[in-house]
Structure 1
């Protein structure tokens, strides 16, 4: 059994980070393949991919770059180190997600009965929240989309995972609605997306306490 000290050492945090990237990309891809609605940022990327005809992996990467620069604006200073760390996360994550999504499609997940797809979607969104909690606590490198609520949570919202998550959902929700207005179709937006918007903050807070709680938050700035 790993000790608390070892878990929170730099090597331990790197291990948890690697695990979280795989978990996050795997479960995000699962939610996309169910066609029941994915996490809102993923839904916005899928929507943009269908609109622009740019591959999902590339859209996920480009969207991450835009959000990374937004995060620096919220911090109030240009932090090259933070920017590089954001880019180091989105590069493997974006293309792992696209690869896993292709795998799930080949496994005929989109053709499963409705009940099974709902269960897989809910389970996938829980897995996403658990992964976010894990790499937010490790805080070595982070996806810009999750760095955003992290900054909001500890800099502006007194540590609340719920309010910070809701606020960070506004930009991708706007993207999804705009693509719907232009294309007349929802892409990867549905039951699961609404469930994600309403519950992800609570699920992250739950995972902070119960999913590998040996790892604690490593903050870089004061509230």
Structure 2
């Protein structure tokens, strides 16, 4: 068992970071393979990949780079170190997610009965929220898509995980909208996407309090 002291050491935070990367990629890939609706940023990348004819891994990577740069403007300073940390996250995460998706598809997850896919989708979305909570608290490297609500949460929205999460959903929703206008199709955008939009902020807040409670937020700025 990891004690509070060990969890908040650098080595403890790195341990939780690796756990969260694996959990995040695994959970997101599970939601994509069910086709019952993914987390909004993942859904936007899936639709973007079909729109511009990129692999899912490359679409996730490209989207991450754009958001990482946008985050710097929200911070009000050009933080090279933060940009590098964002890139260090999206590189393994993007292609790990794509690999897990192929794995789940090969298992036949997409052909399961509707109620099974719905259950797996909700389980996957819960895993995504828990993973985000873990690596936001560790705050070593972070996916830029999740760094965005983190910046909004603690710099502009007085620590609220709910309002910051909802505000950060606007860009991926626009990507999905434009992809649909140009392709006439929607991918990975279903019940689970709306469930994710409505609940992820609450689930992150719940995980902050109940999952690995000995890991605390390591803030870089105050409200």
The TM-score by the shorter chain falls in which range? over 0.9
Matched, 1:110 2:110: yes
Matched, 1:2 2:9: no
Cα-to-partner distance string for 1:157-186 (whole Å, 9 max, x where unaligned): 000000000000000001101111111111
Partner of 1:15: 15
Q: Structure 2: how far apart are the matches of 1:5 and 1:121?
A: 35
Considering only aligned residues, what root-mean-square deviation do their CA atoms show, in Å? 0.4
Partner of 1:210: 210
Q: CA deviation at 1:70?
A: 0.4
Matched, 1:173 2:180: no
Report matched runs for 1:69-218 at 5 Å: 69-218=69-218
Cα-to-partner distance string for 1:42-66 (whole Å, 9 max, x where unaligned): 0000001011111100110010000
TM-score (norm 1): 0.99
Q: CA deviation at 1:6?
A: 0.6
Q: Structure 1: how far apart are the matches of 2:82 and 2:37?
A: 30
- What SS does the aligned partner of 2:71 have? helix
Cα-to-partner distance string for 1:131-182 (whole Å, 9 max, x where unaligned): 0000000000000000000000000000000000000000000110111111
Partner of 2:44: 44
Q: Structure 2: how far apart are the matches of 1:179 and 1:14?
A: 37
Q: How many residues are matched?
A: 223
User: Which structure 1 segments of 5+ residues have no match?
Assistant: none
- What SS does the aligned partner of 1:216 have? coil
Partner of 1:30: 30
Cα-to-partner distance string for 1:33-92 (whole Å, 9 max, x where unaligned): 000000000000000101111110011001000000000000000000000000000000
